[in-house]
Amino acid sequence: MSLVSLVGLVTLSLDDSLTRRLAALLVSFAVGSLLGDAFIHLIPETFARKTVTLWPSLLILAGMLLFFVVEKLLRHEHGLLHRYYHPGTNARPELAAVNLFGDAIHNFIDGLLIAASYLVSPALGLATTIAVLFHEIPQELGDFGILVHSGLGVRRAVLLNLASAGVALLGALAALLAGQVSRDTVTTVLVPITAGGFVYIAAADLIPELQHDRTGRGLLVQVSLIVLGMGTMGILAILE
């Protein structure tokens, strides 16, 4: 499952300028897939079988606030990325970092859910694996586009994306050690926090990036790719 993150390797044969243009397009797709993932998959899962909606709602808002704080700390004058951040340039190291942070949490959840499903039965585990696999392909495409768009080289973007995807192994290990209790904890706490984080990344970081292209053609392309990302997540929800 983690090897799906290597999808960016297909761009190694392309020249740098073409890869950057492709990454800019994938940012639009990432907006749709992140929002689609949050509102079609994660948030409904958060409220499923919940009679009280206040606690899940607060956790979603807490996720948005958490990602805001993380990004602010990364961009702070004493933050980890301050030496690499230069206002006025196209480099966005804090965007890459906050996206990797959110993706790592998401992959941890995927690994945990897959392993927990296998604990129930091999058939359920296989079904969950296939569902997550098809869910991850568009997600990883969008993540790769974000990393390259933030200023990373293709090879570094691929390696960091793979490292983030590898967190799924930790989630699987946690599920095997903690069993059903771990899965319940993820559904209750980490899923809504991740949903809030994805909404924050899409709305606060990526959509403003799309506003730089003010052409009618750019608007049409961006809207089409956003709808494609949302539609992909919707189709996956139907197939699941």
Q: How many domains does the chain have?
A: 1
Structural tokens at position 167? 């967190």
Please report where in the chains the tokens 């480099």 appear, as a residue.
Answer: 91
pLDDT for the residue numbered 183: 64
User: How far apart, in whole angstroms, are the C-alpha atoms of residue 221 and residue 227?
Assistant: 10
Q: What is the mean pLDDT of residues 97-126?
A: 76
pLDDT for the residue numbered 179: 65
The model's pLDDT over 50-83, given as tens digits with 9 standing for 90+, comes to 777 888 999 999 989 988 887 777 665 555 444 4
Cβ-contact 6, 112 below 8 angstroms: no
Low-confidence winner among 24-33, 114-123, 144-153 (lowest mean pLDDT): 114-123
Cβ-contact 90, 27 below 8 angstroms: no
Burial environment of residue 165 by CB neighbours within 10 A (0 to 12, 13 to 18, 19 or more): buried
DSSP 143-174: HHHHHHHTT--HHHHHHHHHHHHTHHHHHHHH
Range of the domain at 215: 2-239
Structural tokens at position 65? 């606030």
The model's pTM is: 0.71
pLDDT tops 50 at residue 45: yes
